[in-house]
C-alpha cells in the first residue's frame, strides 16, 4: 500500500487535468465530479481495486461502477491512465464526438472496463447490487478459488436521491451483500445549486436503517480515504462511505459551486487550475513519471490474475465455469423434445402456467438461471424446477424474493447479466413494466440477456380492473429498440418463446403472458421453432383467401374462431400468430411477403386482433385494414364480460370484417 501524497497528488491531478481539458475541448461535459472524486478514485484504483488493465474481461476482477455517469471523464481517465487499450489519448481528445468510445456517458458496449452503462442516475448503484448478487451466487457455486471479488460504486447526491436507490439498498441490506462498497460523492452540490435547496434527508441514517455499514471520510485525504475503505471491507455488511468532497476541486474560482457540474470551466479557469494544481503539462500530455505510477497501479493485479489462471487450469470445473462466463448454453440444451411433448398432449392453461411448465424444464437443465418475482411469485408462476431461495444465508439459491421492488429487480437483473455467469429472469404484472421501464431500456441499450416474465397481460385479468389491465404496454414496449416482446398463444408458443429468449445473448425479452386459460392452438409437430420467425400461419385459408387475421397471445384462438365462421360463409381466412413483431420484421422479404402478401386491400383484407391499443397496428394491417383492440382504459369485471364489452368476440368482430369486405 502506498499513499504517499508525493505520488498520489500527481496521479489524482492527472485525472483532473484530463477531465477539464477534455470537457474544455469538447465544449461539453461535466468536469466537476471527476475533479472532486479524483482523490478517492486514485486511492481505490491504486491500492484496492482488483483488476489487470491488460485483461479487462478477467472473470474474477472487481467490478467498478461509476453510477454518477455524468462524471464519465473520471472513468475514461482511470482506464486510460492505468493502461487499458482504450480509450487512447486520441479517443480522450475526441471526448463526446461521433465514433469515439468516449461517449457523453459511459457505455458498456463501447469500452471494456465500463461494466455498465450509467447516466440515468441511481441505476448504476442498483445494477451494482445485481453484480454483487451474481458474485456471491457464483462464489457459492464455484468456490473462493474461482470467484472472490468485490463491487465498488461511486454514486452522487443524485443517485442517492432517486427512488430506485431505496429499492436497491433495501435489497442489498437484506441480502447482506458485504462485498459491495458505495462511495458517496458527498459534495453537497447538484445542478440547481446547494443540496440544501432540495433535501434535508439524513442519508447515512437511511442506509443504516436498511442494515448497511456507514462510514465517512475526507475525500481529499488519502490516509483517511484508505482508513474508511479498510473499515468498510471489514464490516461484514454492504458499506456506504460518505466522502466529503469539493466539486471541481482544483479550479480555484469555481470549485465548490454548481458552475463546475456540467459546463466547461473556460480557458481562463482551466489555466488557473493548472496553476493551482501545479500541473505544467500541456493538455492531453501526461508526465512520464505520473504515467509510470499509473501503469504500475494498472498492472498490480497481473500476478493475482495469473495465479487465478493457474487455479482455473487446475479446476475440474474449468469448462463449466468458462461456459457460464461466456454466456453459452450447455451443449445439447434444447427444448424441442419438451415442445413436441406439449404438442402431443394439448392442454388448456394460462400462458403464465405454460411458462411455469417451461421453467420447470429449463431450471432443471440449465443451472445458469436465477429467477425471481417482485412479490408475485404465485401469480407470475416464476418459481419452478425445484430451485431454492437466494438468501443471505444461502447464496447458492436460484430464486430471489425481490419484494415489491419492480425497478430494483429489473436493474439488479441487468447487473447480474452484465456480471456474467447467470441468466436472470424476473416477474411482475405486465402493467408494472411502467415501473421497470427505465431498466428495461438499459437492458436493451446494454445488450444484455434478461427475461421479463410479465403476466396478467390484458383485460383478461378481469376483476382487478383498469389500474391492473395493460392497454398500451405491449405496443409501447415494441417501440423500444433491441427488445423482443413476445406474446405467446398457448403452451407450445410459450415454450418456444422461452427457448428463443434464452438464446439471445445480446438482447432482453419481455414475455407477455395471460392470467386466463387459453386453448391450445398448436397441435401439429412443426419440426422447427415457429415462433422464431416472429409470425407464422397457424391456419391457412380453405376457401378462396380474402382475409388475413393477425392476432397475438390470447387473441389467436379468438382469430381462429372468427376464421371458422368466415370459412363457413365461403370466405377464406388465414390466421397468423404474430408472436413477436421484432423477429418478424427481421425475416427476409420473401418470408414476410408470404405471410403478409403485398396485395391490394380489396383483394385481401388484413385484420389485427389484440386486446390492447390499436395504435401502430396499421404497420401490419395497412391503412385500409381493420384493427380490433381497446383504445381506452379497461374496467373491473369478470374477464368474459370484459371481452364482450370491448368487442373482442367473434360475434362482434365477424360482422365488422363482413362490412369491410362488402364495403
Ligand atoms: C434519472 C436522471 N435524472 C436526471 C439526470 C440529469 N442529471 C445529471 S447529473 C444531475 C445532478 C446530479 O447531482 P449529483 O449527483 O450531486 O452530481 P454532482 O453535481 O455532484 O456531480 C442531474 C439532475 C440524470 N442524468 N438522470
Ligand atoms: Mg453532488
Rounded Cα distance between 517 and 635, Å, is 20
Binding site membership of 170 for ligand 1 (Cβ less than 6 Å): no
Active site residues: 406
H or E element, residue 64: strand 63-66
Binding site membership of 190 for ligand 1 (Cβ less than 6 Å): yes
- What residues have CB less than 8 Å from 442, skipping those under 6 apart? 116, 117, 120, 123, 127, 411, 414
Taking CA atoms, 322 is separated from 108, 132, 370, in Å, by 21, 19, 18
Which ligand 1 atom is nearest residue 195's CA? 16
Binding site membership of 121 for ligand 1 (Cβ less than 6 Å): yes
- What residues have CB less than 8 Å from 375, skipping those under 6 apart? 401, 402, 403, 404
Binding site membership of 298 for ligand 1 (Cβ less than 6 Å): no
Which ligand 1 atom is nearest residue 123's CA? 1
Question: What is the predicted pLDDT for the residue at 599?
Answer: 87
Q: Which of 430, 438, 373 is nearest to 610 (CA)?
A: 430
pLDDT tens per residue, range 83-133: 999 999 999 999 999 999 999 999 999 999 999 999 999 999 999 999 999
Strand partners, 184: 155, 242
What is the distance in A from the centroid of ligand 2 to the CA of 246?
Answer: 9
Residue with cell 475514461: 76
H or E element, residue 8: helix 5-26
Backbone angles phi, psi at 608, to 5 degrees: -100, 140
What is the distance in A from the centroid of ligand 1 to the CA of 268?
Answer: 26
398, 371 contact by CB (below 8 A): yes
Rounded Cα distance between 338 and 24, Å, is 60
Residues with CB under 5 A from ligand 2 (ion): 156-157, 187, 189
For residue 186, the ligand closest to its alpha carbon is: 2
Nearest CA to ligand 1 atom 18: 190
Question: What is the predicted pLDDT for the residue at 602?
Answer: 79
Q: Which residues in the chain come in under a pLDDT of 50?
A: none
What is the distance in A from the centroid of ligand 2 to the CA of 635?
Answer: 45
Binding site membership of 124 for ligand 1 (Cβ less than 6 Å): no
pLDDT tens per residue, range 371-389: 999 999 999 999 999 999 9
Q: How many Cα atoms within 13 Å fall on the side-chain side of residue 143?
A: 8
Most ligand 1 atoms within 8 A of CB, residue of 158, 199, 262, 438 to mutate: 158
Binding site membership of 261 for ligand 1 (Cβ less than 6 Å): yes
19, 74 contact by CB (below 8 A): yes
What is the distance in A from the centroid of ligand 2 to the CA of 40?
Answer: 15
What is the distance in A from the centroid of ligand 1 to the CA of 147?
Answer: 34
What is the distance in A from the centroid of ligand 2 to the CA of 88?
Answer: 28
Q: Where are the alpha helices (DSSP H) in 84-122?
A: 89-93
Binding site membership of 128 for ligand 1 (Cβ less than 6 Å): no
For residue 105, the ligand closest to its alpha carbon is: 1
Rounded Cα distance between 130 and 124, Å, is 10
The model carries a pTM of 0.98
Which ligand 1 atom is nearest residue 30's CA? 21
Question: What is the predicted pLDDT for the residue at 600?
Answer: 82
Binding site membership of 433 for ligand 1 (Cβ less than 6 Å): no
Q: Which of 546, 543, 540 is nearest to 607 (CA)?
A: 546
For residue 158, the ligand closest to its alpha carbon is: 1
- What residues have CB less than 8 Å from 68, skipping those under 6 apart? 33, 118, 121, 124, 154, 155, 156, 158, 159, 185
Amino acid at each position: 500500500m502506498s499513499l504517499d501524497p508525493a505520488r498520489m497528488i500527481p496521479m489524482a491531478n492527472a485525472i483532473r487535468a484530463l477531465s477539464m481539458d477534455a470537457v474544455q475541448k469538447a465544449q461539453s461535459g461535466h468536469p466537476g465530479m471527476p475533479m472532486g472524486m479524483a482523490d478517492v478514485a486514485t486511492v481505490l484504483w491504486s491500492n484496492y481495486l482488483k483488476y489487470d488493465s491488460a485483461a479487462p474481461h478477467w472473470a474474477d476482477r472487481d467490478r467498478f461502477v461509476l453510477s454518477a455517469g455524468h462524471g464519465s471523464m473520471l472513468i475514461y481517465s482511470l482506464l486510460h491512465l492505468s493502461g487499458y487499450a482504450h480509450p487512447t489519448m486520441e479517443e480522450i481528445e475526441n471526448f463526446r464526438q461521433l465514433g469515439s468510445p468516449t461517449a457523453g456517458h459511459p457505455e458498456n458496449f463501447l469500452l471494456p472496463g465500463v461494466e455498465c452503462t450509467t447516466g440515468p442516475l441511481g441505476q448504476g448503484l442498483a445494477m451494482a447490487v445485481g453484480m454483487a448478487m451474481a458474485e456471491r451466487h457464483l462464489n457459492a457455486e464455484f468456490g473462493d478459488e474461482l470467484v472472490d471479488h468485490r463491487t465498488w460504486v461511486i454514486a452522487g447526491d443524485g443517485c442517492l436521491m432517486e427512488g430506485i436507490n431505496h429499492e436497491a439498498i433495501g435489497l442489498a441490506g437484506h441480502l447482506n451483500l458485504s462485498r459491495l462498497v458505495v462511495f458517496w460523492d458527498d459534495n453537497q452540490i447538484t445542478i440547481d445549486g446547494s443540496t440544501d435547496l432540495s433535501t434535508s434527508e439524513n442519508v447515512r441514517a437511511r442506509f443504516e436503517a436498511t442494515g448497511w455499514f456507514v462510514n465517512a471520510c475526507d475525500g481529499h485525504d488519502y490516509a483517511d480515504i484508505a482508513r474508511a475503505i479498510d473499515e468498510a471491507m471489514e464490516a461484514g455488511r454492504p458499506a456506504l462511505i460518505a466522502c466529503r468532497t469539493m466539486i471541481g476541486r482544483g479550479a480555484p474560482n469555481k470549485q465548490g459551486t454548481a458552475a463546475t457540474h456540467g459546463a466547461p470551466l473556460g480557458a481562463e479557469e482551466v489555466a488557473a487550475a493548472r496553476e493551482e494544481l501545479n500541473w505544467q503539462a500541456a493538455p492531453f500530455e501526461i508526465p512520464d513519471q505520473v504515467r509510470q505510477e499509473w501503469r504500475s497501479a494498472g498492472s498490480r493485479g497481473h500476478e493475482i490474475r495469473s495465479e487465478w489462471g493457474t487455479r482455473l487450469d487446475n479446476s475440474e470445473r474449468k469448462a463449466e465455469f468458462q461456459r457460464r462466463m461466456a454466456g453459452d448454453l450447455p451443449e445439447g440444451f434444447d427444448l424441442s423434445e419438451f415442445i413436441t411433448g406439449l404438442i402431443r398432449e394439448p392442454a388448456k392453461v394460462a400462458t403464465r402456467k405454460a411458462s411455469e411448465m417451461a421453467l420447470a424444464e429449463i431450471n432443471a437443465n440449465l443451472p445458469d438461471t436465477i429467477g425471481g418475482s417482485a412479490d408475485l411469485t404465485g401469480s407470475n408462476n416464476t418459481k419452478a424446477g425445484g430451485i431454492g431461495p437466494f438468501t443471505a444465508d444461502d447464496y447458492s439459491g436460484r430464486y430471489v424474493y425481490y419484494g415489491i421492488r419492480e425497478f430494483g429487480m429489473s436493474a439488479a437483473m441487468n447487473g447480474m447479466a452484465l456480471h456474467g455467469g447467470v441468466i436472470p429472469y424476473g416477474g411482475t404484472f405486465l402493467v408494472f413494466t411502467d415501473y421497470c421501464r427505465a431498466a428495461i431500456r438499459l437492458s436493451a441499450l446494454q445488450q444484455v440477456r434478461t427475461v421479463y416474465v410479465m403476466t396478467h397481460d390484458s383485460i383478461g385479468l378481469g376483476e382487478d380492473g383498469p389500474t391492473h389491465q395493460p392497454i398500451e404496454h405491449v405496443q409501447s414496449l415494441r417501440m423500444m429498440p433491441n427488445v423482443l416482446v413476445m406474446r405467446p398463444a398457448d403452451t407450445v408458443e410459450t415454450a418456444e418463446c422461452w427457448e428463443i429468449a434464452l438464446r439471445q445473448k445480446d438482447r432482453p425479452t419481455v414475455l407477455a403472458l395471460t392470467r386466463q386459460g387459453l386453448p391450445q392452438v398448436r397441435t401439429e409437430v412443426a419440426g422447427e421453432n415457429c415462433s422464431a420467425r416472429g409470425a407464422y400461419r397457424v391456419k391457412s385459408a380453405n376457401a378462396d383467401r380474402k382475409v388475413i387475421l393477425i392476432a397475438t397471445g390470447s387473441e389467436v384462438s379468438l382469430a381462429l374462431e372468427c376464421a371458422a365462421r368466415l370459412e363457413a360463409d365461403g370466405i377464406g381466412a388465414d390466421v397468423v400468430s404474430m408472436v413477436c413483431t421484432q423477429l418478424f420484421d427481421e425475416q427476409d422479404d420473401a418470408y414476410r411477403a408470404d405471410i403478409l402478401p403485398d396485395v391490394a386491400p380489396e383483394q385481401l383484407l388484413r385484420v389485427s386482433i389484440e386486446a390492447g391499443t390499436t395504435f401502430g397496428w396499421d404497420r401490419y394491417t395497412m391503412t385500409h385494414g381493420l384493427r380490433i383492440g381497446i383504445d381506452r382504459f379497461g374496467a373491473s369485471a369478470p374477464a368474459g364480460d370484459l371481452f364482450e364489452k370491448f368487442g373482442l368476440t367473434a360475434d362482434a368482430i365477424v360482422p365488422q370484417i363482413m362490412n369491410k369486405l362488402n364495403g
